[in-house]
Amino acid sequence: MSDNYELAVIGAGTMAEAIVRGAFDTGYLCSESVVACDLNPERRDLFETEFGVATTDDLQVCAPCPYILLATKPFNVDEVLAAVAPGVHEGVTVISVCAGITTKQISDALGGKARVVRAMPNTPTRVGAGATAIAPGPNCQDENLEWARRLFAASGLSVVMPEEKIDSVTGLSGSGPAYVFYFIEAMIEAGIAEGIDADTSRDLVLQTFEGAVKLVRETGIAPAELRRRVTTPNGVTQRGIETFQSYKFRESVHTAIHNAVLRSKELGEK
């Protein structure tokens, strides 16, 4: 097994798979530069067959790599870091996607030797449409942060912000796809209730979401203005909007995101 890997992936789960896929699809990394470590032989087999990367169940193989993507389950982080700590040298950059784990926790566990970056991607990363916030931690240099930013940019949007904002990102874009899925689910059900067959209702709703996002993105017009333009006074759309307002739709969205942010902070304190 080569000693010249650029990136070691610890925890070859679905999020790590999505990140690696984006990096390979865009040419940011090549298979020869990556090693994936996971105790599950099925995940190792997937990385070998899907990406052609070397795999291992030995964490010591990962420790010397210049970059380590820490994608294990949060409850396994302490055990994993304790295992790799002896082999980690000054200048290694650890990029963590473990929810609730701070850069200080990682740095302390590695004896202050590593440069640490914390990231919060979301599930659309798996289709190249992710939204990821990254935050520099202890010892992180500009070039390390930029390397991490470009890694996630290969799978969508990647923005840099202070670590104290990561919990807010977790409640907004981290959990956000689930909110959108929930709304899509409700609209499809509503279409069916109004007599539209299930497949057609699904197609219409999905295209409506895709089209609305594309309209906002490509025109640069504020969503509130686009909504105003399509809402004829005393018309069909106004009746629907008024119904949302009567159920305090906007307030419920704000409260849901706020409560998700609070929960993210709670998990980080454990």
Q: Categorize the per-residue pLDDT at 75 as very low, low, confident or very high, splitting at 50, 70 and 90.
A: confident
Give whole-number Cα distances, 93 to 48, 169, 199, 211, 239, in Å. Answer: 24, 22, 47, 40, 54
User: So what's the architecture of 7-166 in CATH?
Assistant: 3-Layer(aba) Sandwich (3.40)
Q: What would the mean pLDDT of 185-212 be, rounded to a whole number?
A: 98
Give the pLDDT confidence of 95-117 residue by residue, as tens digits. 999 988 999 999 999 999 999 99
Superfamily of the domain at 176-269: ProC C-terminal domain-like (1.10.3730.10)
Q: What would the mean pLDDT of 71-95 be, rounded to a whole number?
A: 93
Give the pLDDT confidence of 32-58 residue by residue, as tens digits. 999 999 999 999 999 999 999 999 999
Rounded Cα distance, 255 and 252, in Å: 5
Give the pLDDT confidence of 229-263 residue by residue, as tens digits. 999 999 999 999 999 999 999 999 999 999 999 99
Residues 140/93, Cβ–Cβ less than 8 Å: yes
pLDDT of 2 over the 70 cut? no
Provide the residue ranges of all domains of the chain, joining segments of one domain with +: 7-166, 176-269
Give the pLDDT confidence of 145-172 residue by residue, as tens digits. 999 999 999 999 999 999 999 999 999 9
Beta partners for 67? 7, 93
pTM: 0.90
